[in-house]
Amino acid sequence: MNAREYLEILHLAERLKDTPRHCTTTSGRTESVAEHSWRVSLMALLLRHEFPDLDMDRVVNMCLIHDLGECFTGDIPAFVKTDADRKTEDALLDQWVKSLPEELSADISALYKEMDAQETAEAKLYKALDKLEALIQHNESPLSTWSENEYELNKTYAFETVSFSKWLTALREEILKDTIERIEKESE
């Protein structure tokens, strides 16, 4: 990869800094996709010792690239995203990945294939962290920014995704406690 190719990749990825997500930060500011991806990656790094048998560098890599398709389509909340939306995002992302320098394209394609298959422990952990981060962020954001359906969704979302791990299931339970406490406190 030459220096120009490298810069072009970074310029495209920069779009995620300006791509708003459905969620807001604690102060009520709209979160960017890049901010979400950063924290999902940090979550993986922090779990290195909880999951010593996993290739955490691979998990962090998955977390870093998981929303790159949103450079092309923007963020569409999971509860609104259709199969047609996924197909469009996947096609645009695939086209871009194939345009990358050969060795980089092969590495990233292999990661996406593993992520999509959801067969490895690393892929399952990345997917769980992606969903859990969204729940954590919702609990941190003002309740006034929640959609009506999120009150129930925050109580039920991602339990199946974390079920492969006792540790992640315990984390999901703690997030649920925070959700319930948040809703009860704000409705007083």
* Segment 52-107, tens digit of pLDDT: 999 999 999 999 999 999 999 999 888 889 999 999 999 999 999 999 999 999 99
CATH code linked to domain 10-186: 1.10.3210.10
Q: What is the pTM of this model?
A: 0.94
Phi, psi (5° rounding) for residue 120? -90, 155
Residue listed under structure tokens 């979400």: 36
Measured between alpha carbons, how far is residue 90 from residues 59, 70, 74, 98, 112 in Å?
20, 10, 12, 12, 10
64: number of Cβ within 10 Å: 17
Per-residue pLDDT of the chain (188 residues; tens, 9 = 90+): 999 999 999 999 999 999 999 889 999 899 999 999 999 999 999 999 999 999 999 999 999 999 999 999 999 888 889 999 999 999 999 999 999 999 999 999 999 999 999 999 999 999 999 999 999 999 999 988 998 888 999 999 999 999 999 999 999 999 999 999 999 987 76
* C-beta of residue 96 within 8 angstroms of C-beta of residue 72: yes
